[in-house]
Structure 1
Amino acid sequence: MKNRLFILLMGLNFCVIASENEAKEEVWIDGDTFYKSIRHKKQSTIYFGKWSNYVSQFLEDDNYFVALQLDQQFDPLPLDDKKLPSLATLAAVSDKNTRKEYYRFLESFGRTYGISHMVLPDTLDHTDFEKEVILEINQHSPFYFIHKSILSYSVPDNRKDYESASGIKPTIWVASQDANTRKISKWSDKVSRESQESFYRDLKQSKRTEFLPAYDLPNSLTKAIFSSGTLAHDPGHIFPIKTDVITYLGLDLPLKMRLRQYVEVLDYRVPGIPCIVDLREGDRKVQSDDILITKELNHHNSALIFPQIEPDHSDILIAQMLFGAMNVSGRSSLKSMRQVDRSVLLGFTDPEQVGFHVKPHLGIDSLAMIAIKKYATPGIQLAVVKNGQIVLEKSYGYYTYDSLLEVSRNTVYDIASVTKVMATLPAIASLIDDGKIDLDDSLSQHLAAFKGSNKGKITIRQLLAHNGGLRSYVPFWSMMMTGDRLDAFYYQTPEDEARDIRTYGLEPHPSMLDSLKSFIVRSELIKNPQNYNYSDLGFMILHLLVEEVSDQPFDQYLSEKFYRPMELSRTSFSPIKNGISPKDIAPTEYDNRYRNYQVWGEVHDRNALVFGGVAGHAGLFSTARDLAKMMYMFLNDGYIGGHQYISKETLSQLNVRYFDDNRRGLGWDKKDGEKDSASSYASDQSFGHTGFTGTMVWADPEQDLIYIFLSNRIYPDANNWRLGELNTRTQIHDVIYQSLKKLN
């Protein structure tokens, strides 16, 4: 390696010039007047105030040191084929660690190419953030990145000029800049011995620093600069974009395909549909309400302004920023620029970006199609989330076996017992956070009807773990019937009774709910109440407890606390009543025991139906994408989209086994190695739940992995058990784990 020249700032106006070997005679020579000098062919530092065609010959010559002046582009080698971020780009980067990492790269890059020093631009006519970058990079390596302001106005051309100025042969020089007296003086004239010793210590320390060769800007660093340096020009506050349909006008086909993972994408303008115009690869006609993707702000439109450098797979990042799956955090002093916080949306990425060695859908596709061909279910909808990003969201088959309505990502499914962990469990957790209940509270503390009953001393903890001694299932709905008809007083009107019109989950007769509550209170316990016994009744009771303590209807409480702020637009009890079209809902069974018609758009579970379609054990409808958000909230310590929905402390109490011979946590199903629904590869810390209609949600904290499987396997007959016989849900879970690069 070359014998290096080092610079140290001494106060505001001094620049120390020293060599590794004090006996060397070293001076600085202005590159523009270099050819006028004939005395310095060895051990000279050639300073180039701007790039010249003959710079490269000195970079390759060990006899010379080269100092290059950085301009606004901040690129020491502007004529090579490597694109480096400009000063303005670095100023926009909000993450300080990313900026520091780039400073380290730039120094290594410069040393690799033979640049001994980089001279920083002065701070005049620069923004505050640009001045901050100039200061930071000098502080990072003051021996390498030199402030232009500390150089002498006139650098002597040869050693004789130095000798004339001082009268002696120089070894270490301090070049001072003074507006009135530009002079060169000896080290000892300016600093004390203590300062000299400090300088030598710093000099020796700097020489022990190892610099790995750096030829190209690493993609990881490019990605960090791109992510942290993108600006949002958003005077109308339209970011993140929230719509189901957009128009994209641009040449970036990977980006266009990526946008289609989020929304429907058109190729042409439609009035009222947001239009994204991509200006990165050429000019296009822009209308005043267009949303721009650009690298320069030349319009008044709302725009994302990206750095000049782009990482591989930039389409992933651009789409995430447009729709709010990641922050837009670039810095700017312009008032029309703003930082956009991440929303509750989960972004999409490619599997290989988050640790998959093969794309998981390759194995999943065949398993899903086998299940459909063998009539295990007419359709399937699933999602896989890794590291907080969706790597797979896919739909298979149709609503029914006649193949008329194709399953899409917007198809809503009856999730059956998954309701227990997507509704009742978060509601209970929220009440714990609010200090209104405790896990060891008894039912009689909150529900007067249970005082003195055989259930009065059962705790919330026991109910959540199915360890309260309750019976597995009681067909309460059948207790309201005589023969194949409702008892007379359960009909709304005499006309309904005459025509046997049952309003069911829409507006059941109030006496139905009163009877149901009475049946639950008076129901018997199992023979050994201390034993584990999976039961719907416990979650029916918890539903009543939530309403009593919150003083709100169960569905309203959940909507206000979770579903609405998390933008779960397709998650609802009684979906038709709440504005979801029947054509967007997968049907379940033909109910020939109670309703005598095809169930489509109302809850399949008959006890939940008597509750009015809103119950703690069943009744919720949702999509894989919405459920993925909820599971991510649980996996991410209760936090998503800038809001803490459930405290980490409360969540830590749920994913724990409390009772002997009981594999379950509180609400959550867990693995026991015997009757597991989850993959054998899933960790012991993983948790989830299944549903009777053919549904499953599962999360693994160790792998930061979420799996959602939805189907309507009970169409048209609830006694169709082929999905379980084929073990489709578990086998697909296996494929996901097998596709990962590393399995613990």
Structure 2
Amino acid sequence: MRGYLQIVFILICISGYALDTEPNEEVWIDGSSFYKAIKHRKNSTLYFREWAPYARQFLEDEDYFVAIQLDKAFDPLPDDNIDLPNLTTLAAIGEPQLRQDYYGFLESFGRTYGINHMVLPDTISLSLFEKEVIREANKHSPFYFLHKSSLSYSLPDTRREFESEADATPTIWVTAQDESTKKLSKWSDKLDDDERLSFYTRLRAAKLVEFIPAFELPPSLTNSIFTASTIAIDPHERFPLQDHRISYIGTDQPLKRRLSQYTTVLGYRVSGVPCIVDLRNEKEKVMEGDIVIGYEPQNSDVTTLLLPKLEIADQDVLVGKMLFGANGIKGRSSLKGARQIRNYGYLGYAGPEWSGLDSYHLQWIDSLANDAIKKFATPGMQVAVVKNGSVVLEKEYGHFTYDSLQPVSKKTIYDIASVTKVVATLPAIALLVDQEKIHLDDSLSSYLKEFSKSNKSQVTIRQLLAHNAGLLSYVPFWSMMMDGDRLDAFYYKTPEDEAKDIRTYGLEPDPIMLDSLKSFIVRSKLIKNPSEYNYSDLGFMILHLLVERVSGVPFDQFVIENFYQPMGLKHTAFNPIRNGISPRDIAPTEYDQRYRNYQVWGEVHDRNALVFGGVAGHAGLFSTALDMAKMMSMFLNDGYYGGRQYISKETLDQFNFRYFENNRRGLAWDKKDGKKDSASRLASDQSFGHTGFTGTMVWADPEEDLIYVFLSNRIYPDANNWKLGELNTRTTIHDVIYQSIRSVN
């Protein structure tokens, strides 16, 4: 009796909530095969297959009261060509708000199609997470998502009984699929010939009605559900992939092309090379050690990326980012070996539109780059753009030299000149601050005693970083090694070198010479007003010495071991030839007629950095656009990259701040002041970056989650070639990037 009263109470609430006027009949549509209803006679119910042909008729006729039973597919209209997430997919979503957003969509979807109620599946044999979805949906909208326990399970056996029940009280009848078939057959047999003829006539007529879907799952919600419900079965903790080569066995060519942006991809198995087997479209043989992409779990010992059966645009982007650690794999599951994987912060790859840029507008970059080359501003260049953690543009233009013999490639390494200050010296100092081995407001002489009696004894580390220490802009220490137009005889390595004037001293400087150079720095003069801003290389030469003194290791070893090596910057090095990089991969710079008397190729262009052995705090580093993008990504992500916190956010925040009046710079970073900006006028005030004498630039904007890298060898073959600056190529390309964002928004 108590159960009966409960049912009546719920059904009365349902009927009052669903319609302004009480319908004169109720229709049950079974969820598994979706028997559909169409009005035959007053106060009667018929069951049919295929909802789509009749949806519009139900929408136009308020006399019908439709409820649909959901099964584990969780799709009220499975034949409407609209993909909806199934119960397993919803259960994998670990974000409560995203699940709530979907329940709201599903109710709107149902009401749009004339469905007054959805009856939730039984929770028997469901997983813990699936039961949670059932409870949440009912709680979200208790008068729309109904528990079957609140409904009647009996279907009247006779038409008279049906009419009597329908007149007596609003009722939604619930039956299993096989029982519905029997009941329909039994009940329709009681119709006379005329009634049956009318029934089939109306059925045939209804099928002629064109059905046009009126409500689809929004792409943004689909993408969010896809991302949140993808599950990693990773018993051996192989995600994220960071292999130099992989094999891909499958038919998804867009995915294969996308994976090739991350690493070398083979189309066949090779011993010792990880193999990705894609089972989504065709069955493939899975072997021990394979990595599977599919919709169904494999053996619990098989590393598997379980994807939801949802069609999304650019699915290859998300799958690639998940496999290679540029996106978390957040789906939850009770399956053995399942684990949630955080976003490691590696750079991913995507098309411009996927990240919110207009690819058509970005084509202006090609025009600007080619125009600069045509006008001999630089023989070649690399450009990289990263938006929202994805590389959306990575292009190379021109050649190593103007003779066009060797084209620039993604692996071409450039001398990045003063960009060294922010991708070598800055992180080194920041790390020592993090480790509390130095403090920004400590005096220089606290760590370098040789400065204690100099005119720089009270200069602080903060002042050095901000170019506010009163140091001279530049002192040609290299010229102190000259005797007329030749080297001082002391600096030739061998008598043969002196006889032939071969100047290879730069790669292996004499310790006595280095001591002399350091003494020159200590004794160097200050500008007239030491409290004024004055851009200076000397400050970063001093910071180089400070890093070595405090850390106890050479400067280049310190940044390699703490940053470049663990970050996977394979094409970043001081003295690249000495470190095993072929000259064929290095863009040449100037023909040095003042000091070396030869074409500089593979050694640092900056002469002061050269006499320090090619390693200095102000210049000397060589790199590619992609490696620099990774380094800038670490800064933009508050010191996090590749699953590791390199520098704390609190420390990095101190560097992206202006401390001194009439000084646009932060600590090492160049910033905008609206006067002589290197960056686009559209960049935010929070943006930061740096340029280099050789024709380089890096810039990041936290407000847009945007990174821009421009590398060139504009000083080939003459450092007095200023056309790149006159054309304003670097800044104009930066403008185009921002404009491509604005054109989408």
TM-score (norm 2): 0.84
Q: Which residue in 1 is equivalent to 2:216?
A: 216
Cα shift at 1:418: 0.4
- Matched letter for residue 320 of structure 2: A
- Residue 438 and residue 58 in structure 1: after superposition, are their counterparts in 2 closer, same or farther (change >3 A)? same
- Matched letter for residue 713 of structure 1: R
What is the rounded CA distance, in whole Å, between the counterparts of 1:576 and 1:265 in structure 2? 28
- Residue 628 and residue 11 in structure 1: after superposition, are their counterparts in 2 closer, same or farther (change >3 A)? farther
1:645-724 correspondence to structure 2 within 5 Å: 645-724=646-725
Which stretch has the larger CA shift, 420-429 or 86-95?
Answer: 86-95
1:40-119 correspondence to structure 2 within 5 Å: 41=42, 61-119=61-119
Is residue 407 of structure 2 the alignment partner of residue 411 of structure 1?
no
- Matched letter for residue 693 of structure 2: F
Could you say what secondary structure the match of 1:720 adopts? coil
- Residue 578 and residue 521 in structure 1: after superposition, are their counterparts in 2 closer, same or farther (change >3 A)? same
Cα shift at 1:29: 7.4
Could you say what secondary structure the match of 2:638 adopts? coil
Cα shift at 1:434: 2.4
Which stretch has the larger CA shift, 69-78 or 492-501?
Answer: 492-501
- Residue 31 and residue 132 in structure 1: after superposition, are their counterparts in 2 closer, same or farther (change >3 A)? closer
Q: Which residue in 2 is equivalent to 1:511?
A: 512
1:200-599 correspondence to structure 2 within 5 Å: 215-298=215-298, 301-490=302-491, 502-599=503-600
Which stretch has the larger CA shift, 718-727 or 488-497?
Answer: 488-497
- Residue 258 and residue 169 in structure 1: after superposition, are their counterparts in 2 closer, same or farther (change >3 A)? closer
- Residue 349 and residue 260 in structure 1: after superposition, are their counterparts in 2 closer, same or farther (change >3 A)? same
Cα shift at 1:301: 4.7
**Does the Cα contact within 8 Å between 2:465 and 2:540 map onto a contact in 1?**
yes
- Matched letter for residue 351 of structure 2: D
**Does the Cα contact within 8 Å between 1:9 and 1:16 map onto a contact in 2?**
no
Could you say what secondary structure the match of 2:454 adopts? coil
What is the rounded CA distance, in whole Å, between the counterparts of 1:140 and 1:419 in structure 2? 56
Could you say what secondary structure the match of 1:436 adopts? coil
Q: Deviations over 1:456-494 (max 9, x none)?
A: 111112111212111111111221233344445445566
Could you say what secondary structure the match of 2:305 adopts? strand
What is the rounded CA distance, in whole Å, between the counterparts of 2:423 and 2:227 in structure 1? 33
- Residue 162 and residue 310 in structure 1: after superposition, are their counterparts in 2 closer, same or farther (change >3 A)? closer
Cα shift at 1:84: 1.4
Cα shift at 1:53: 10
Q: Which residue in 2 is equivalent to 1:741?
A: 742
**Does the Cα contact within 8 Å between 1:575 and 1:621 map onto a contact in 2?**
yes
- Residue 35 and residue 482 in structure 1: after superposition, are their counterparts in 2 closer, same or farther (change >3 A)? closer
Which stretch has the larger CA shift, 221-230 or 734-743?
Answer: 734-743
Q: Which residue in 1 is equivalent to 2:186?
A: none
- Residue 10 and residue 623 in structure 1: after superposition, are their counterparts in 2 closer, same or farther (change >3 A)? farther
Cα shift at 1:221: 1.2
In structure 1, which of residues 20, 42, 45 is the aligned counterpart of residue 16 of structure 2? 20
**Does the Cα contact within 8 Å between 1:291 and 1:303 map onto a contact in 2?**
yes
Could you say what secondary structure the match of 1:564 adopts? helix
Q: Which residue in 1 is equivalent to 2:141?
A: 141
Q: Deviations over 1:700-725 (max 9, x none)?
A: 23333221100011222222222222
Could you say what secondary structure the match of 1:680 adopts? coil
Which stretch has the larger CA shift, 9-18 or 102-111?
Answer: 9-18
What is the rounded CA distance, in whole Å, between the counterparts of 2:49 and 2:123 in structure 1? 17
Cα shift at 1:271: 4.8
Cα shift at 1:603: 1.5
Which stretch has the larger CA shift, 446-455 or 74-83?
Answer: 74-83
- Residue 533 and residue 53 in structure 1: after superposition, are their counterparts in 2 closer, same or farther (change >3 A)? closer
Cα shift at 1:69: 1.3
Cα shift at 1:454: 0.5
Structure 1 vs Structure 2 CA RMSD: 3.7
Q: Deviations over 1:628-648 (max 9, x none)?
A: 122222223333344333333
Is residue 611 of structure 2 the alignment partner of residue 610 of structure 1?
yes
What is the rounded CA distance, in whole Å, between the counterparts of 1:675 and 1:35 in structure 2? 71
Q: Deviations over 1:214-241 (max 9, x none)?
A: 7111111111111111122334433322
What is the rounded CA distance, in whole Å, between the counterparts of 2:674 and 2:424 in structure 1? 27
Which stretch has the larger CA shift, 394-403 or 653-662?
Answer: 653-662
**Does the Cα contact within 8 Å between 1:505 and 1:574 map onto a contact in 2?**
no
- Residue 705 and residue 507 in structure 1: after superposition, are their counterparts in 2 closer, same or farther (change >3 A)? same
Which stretch has the larger CA shift, 652-661 or 521-530?
Answer: 652-661
What is the rounded CA distance, in whole Å, between the counterparts of 1:11 and 1:510 in structure 2? 93
Q: Which residue in 1 is equivalent to 2:193?
A: none
Which stretch has the larger CA shift, 724-733 or 595-604?
Answer: 595-604
Which stretch has the larger CA shift, 344-353 or 422-431?
Answer: 344-353
What is the rounded CA distance, in whole Å, between the counterparts of 1:667 and 1:16 in structure 2? 70
- Residue 436 and residue 172 in structure 1: after superposition, are their counterparts in 2 closer, same or farther (change >3 A)? same
Cα shift at 1:579: 3.3
Could you say what secondary structure the match of 2:527 adopts? coil
What is the rounded CA distance, in whole Å, between the counterparts of 1:693 and 1:39 in structure 2? 83
Cα shift at 1:368: 0.9
What is the rounded CA distance, in whole Å, between the counterparts of 1:743 and 1:297 in structure 2? 39
Q: Deviations over 1:509-560 (max 9, x none)?
A: 2112211111100111122222221110000011111222223322222223
What is the rounded CA distance, in whole Å, between the counterparts of 2:5 and 2:88 in structure 1? 28
Q: Deviations over 1:658-712 (max 9, x none)?
A: 3233222221122333332222222333221110111011122333322110001
**Does the Cα contact within 8 Å between 2:23 and 2:64 map onto a contact in 1?**
no
Cα shift at 1:650: 2.6
Q: Which residue in 2 is equivalent to 1:199?
A: none
Q: Deviations over 1:96-132 (max 9, x none)?
A: 3222211111111111112222111112222222222
- Residue 504 and residue 130 in structure 1: after superposition, are their counterparts in 2 closer, same or farther (change >3 A)? farther
- Matched letter for residue 586 of structure 1: A
Q: Deviations over 1:17-63 (max 9, x none)?
A: 4232999698977668x999x99955x9x899998899867676422
What is the rounded CA distance, in whole Å, between the counterparts of 1:677 and 1:732 in structure 2? 11
Could you say what secondary structure the match of 2:226 adopts? helix
What is the rounded CA distance, in whole Å, between the counterparts of 1:25 and 1:411 in structure 2? 74
**Does the Cα contact within 8 Å between 1:412 and 1:621 map onto a contact in 2?**
yes
Q: Which residue in 2 is equivalent to 1:208?
A: none
Could you say what secondary structure the match of 2:720 adopts? coil
Q: Deviations over 1:298-343 (max 9, x none)?
A: 5765332211112112122122222221112222222233333333
Which stretch has the larger CA shift, 723-732 or 56-65?
Answer: 56-65
Which stretch has the larger CA shift, 592-601 or 617-626?
Answer: 592-601
Cα shift at 1:347: 1.3
Aligned length: 693
**Does the Cα contact within 8 Å between 1:433 and 1:650 map onto a contact in 2?**
yes
- Residue 493 and residue 9 in structure 1: after superposition, are their counterparts in 2 closer, same or farther (change >3 A)? farther
Structure 1: unaligned runs, 5 residues or longer: 1-7, 176-212
Q: Which residue in 1 is equivalent to 2:192?
A: none
**Does the Cα contact within 8 Å between 1:59 and 1:65 map onto a contact in 2?**
no
Cα shift at 1:353: 2.7
- Residue 645 and residue 360 in structure 1: after superposition, are their counterparts in 2 closer, same or farther (change >3 A)? farther
**Does the Cα contact within 8 Å between 2:325 and 2:642 map onto a contact in 1?**
no
What is the rounded CA distance, in whole Å, between the counterparts of 2:437 and 2:656 in structure 1? 21
- Residue 384 and residue 13 in structure 1: after superposition, are their counterparts in 2 closer, same or farther (change >3 A)? farther
What is the rounded CA distance, in whole Å, between the counterparts of 2:6 and 2:361 in structure 1? 60
What is the rounded CA distance, in whole Å, between the counterparts of 2:532 and 2:733 in structure 1? 32
What is the rounded CA distance, in whole Å, between the counterparts of 1:313 and 1:580 in structure 2? 36
Could you say what secondary structure the match of 1:68 adopts? strand
What is the rounded CA distance, in whole Å, between the counterparts of 2:130 and 2:155 in structure 1? 27
